[in-house]
Amino acid sequence: MDDGAIQLVDLKKRFGAQEVLRGVNLEIPRGKITVVIGRSGTGKSVLLKILMGLLRPDSGNILLGGQDMTKLGDSALLKMRNRFGMVFQNAALFDSMTIYENIAFPLREHERLKEKELKARVDAALASVGLLEHGHKDPHQLSGGMRKRAAVARALVRKPEFLLYDEPTTGLDPIMTAHVDELIRGTQDSTPGLTSLVISHDMQATLHIADKIAMLFEGQVIFEGTPDDVRTTDNPVVRQFVEGRLEGPIKV
Amino acid sequence: MSGERPLNVVESLGAAVLGVVNDFGSYTKFTAWALWGILRPPYRLRLLIKQMYFVGNQSLSIVLITGAFTGMVFAVQSDFAFGKFGARGLIGSTVVLALTRELGPVLTSLMVNGRVGSAMAAELGTMRVTEQIDALESMAIDPIQYLAAPRIGATILMMPILCAAFDGVGALGVSWVATHVLQVNPGPFFDRMAWFVDPDDIWGGMLKSALFGFIVASVGCWRGYHAKGGAEGVGQATTKAVVAAGVAILVVDYFVTVIMAPLSVNRI
């Protein structure tokens, strides 16, 4: 096992009678983009929230550098979160703040910086996603794609080791989807040591950006491989999902 | 629980009781954590001041109008009662006592509940359903301390000030109506007012209003924080917050008044 990897071991989570995760095993390698695919409602977002420590699993382990994240107390978990950045599905920018203040926010909260240093860090983050001239605007004044870019800048500004994306291209038009794909790939390539995890059901985007793909089906990971493996596999579930067919093991 | 057949009376009663117990537990836990959040660092003074401004700014005009007209109408109503046995000189003292001890804190907090409690529930509810609260958590920030603590603290601090403003304009309202409209002799009117009304009445009312402020903000934040679903969920959270806090103010008022009553009996 690669020391830097995140290892998910037999993660289980249920909500009432509904068993969402039924023993998820997955290795998320360092310095790469891993994409978890699966139909809507298969527990992808739950997996992400568990990884982030926003939800606790019922059983199973999340191993990171020899530590089991599921065993951490609240304050240790809070510290652990500093190593993660998350890009939410709908950006989740704070609408009471400008774009600049949104990105400055995590820095203000966690790092004692002089206003000049702070501005340099925020401007650099804004520039890296091409929003330098839009810092003074409110989130609602930006387009969906720009908001997403701002969310990436906010997640990156504290230089996290892990960047998690929750369905980054859902609800965007094809051009904007390509743009966000570029953003994810570009961010990965320009940030040394970054590990990205993307949750998606957008097959085109996935094949385009992923280093590793894992498919979640009925609460378990049923396939892991590279984009080429996905293209050539004869796993019927993966085939049906990739080709978007109605007939097959996945029932609508 | 069975999904197939309709719930019978016992089951639905049980479900209702469970719901209330659950809510109470969740509210207590939330509020305790928020209060602890006020006491421990990081202290976010800027947020507290912003919220104090918001609470005061949202409510002052409406509290002043309510206070003035409450005083004025009570002057007219008590003139009707006291006029029957020729004790119109007592109008001022009676109304001002009622204002400072009871109407000030209760009506002020009910008005603030409508303006501020609902706004807090709606704001936090919107933040919840748009994942902004999750975003806070993902940045290693305690969302209850960040969002609820300054709101609760600010409302506790501002409510007594608003209550005092209510008392003040209420007293002006009753004085003006009594001496100018009802032609009560100002001499005995103000004399009795000064004689009967103690600073303790005013302080006691303000203290109660601080408690009601705590109820308004904590219930509003708690409901908003736990909002579910989209716009509809936010709407429901807001309505529930206003109703629950309004009822709680009246119920708690009774018990607090009963507890505080012996303190003021001795002095007469």
Q: At what angle do helices B118-129 and B231-265 cross, to 10 degrees?
A: 140
Chain A closest-CA separation from residue B139 CA (Å): 6
pLDDT at B2 over 70: no
Q: The dihedral of CA A84, A90, A92, A93: what is its sign?
A: positive
Degrees, nearest 5: CA angle B147-B162-B122: 35
pLDDT digits (tens, 9 = 90+) for A103-130: 999 999 998 889 999 999 999 999 988 8
pLDDT at A124: 92
Give the chain A residue whose CA is nearest to the CA of B135. Answer: A92
Alpha carbons A244 and B200: distance in angstroms, whole number? 75
What is residue B266's predicted lDDT score, i.e. its pLDDT? 52
Task: Indicate the pLDDT class of residue B4, thresholds 50, 70 and 90.
Answer: low
Residues in chain A with CB shorter than 8 Å from the CB of B139 are 81, 105-106, 109-110
Closest approach of chain B CAs to the CA of A232, in angstroms? 37
pLDDT, tens only, B143-181: 999 999 999 999 999 999 999 999 999 999 999 999 999
- What is the ipTM metric for this complex? 0.86
> pLDDT at position A79, please?
81
pLDDT over 90 at A204, yes or no: no
Q: Which residues of B touch A92 (CB under 8 A)?
A: 130-132, 134-135
In angstroms, rounded to a whole number, what is the distance separating the alpha carbons of residues B152 and A83? 31
- Alpha helices of B102-198 — where are they, by DSSP H? 104-112, 118-129, 132-138, 143, 149-176, 186-196
pLDDT score of B72:
96
- Residue B83 pLDDT level (bands cut at 50, 70, 90): confident
Q: Return mean pLDDT, chain B.
A: 92
- Beta-carbon contacts of A197 under 8 Å, excluding residues fewer than 6 positions away, are A28, A33, A34, A35, A36, A48, A51, A162, A163, A164, A165
**Which residue, chain included where needed, has tokens 């978007």?**
A244
* Interchain CB distance below 8 Å, B132 and A93: yes
Q: Write down the H helix ranges in A98-235.
A: 99-110, 115-128, 144-156, 174-190, 203-209, 227-232
Cα dihedral A84, A89, A93, A94 sign = negative
Check pLDDT > 50 for residue B268.
Answer: no
A127 touches chain B (CB under 8 A): no
Selection from A83-92, A123-132, A160-169, B50-59 with the highest mean pLDDT: B50-59
| Range 105-164 of B in CB contact (< 8 A) with A | 127, 130-132, 134-135, 137-142
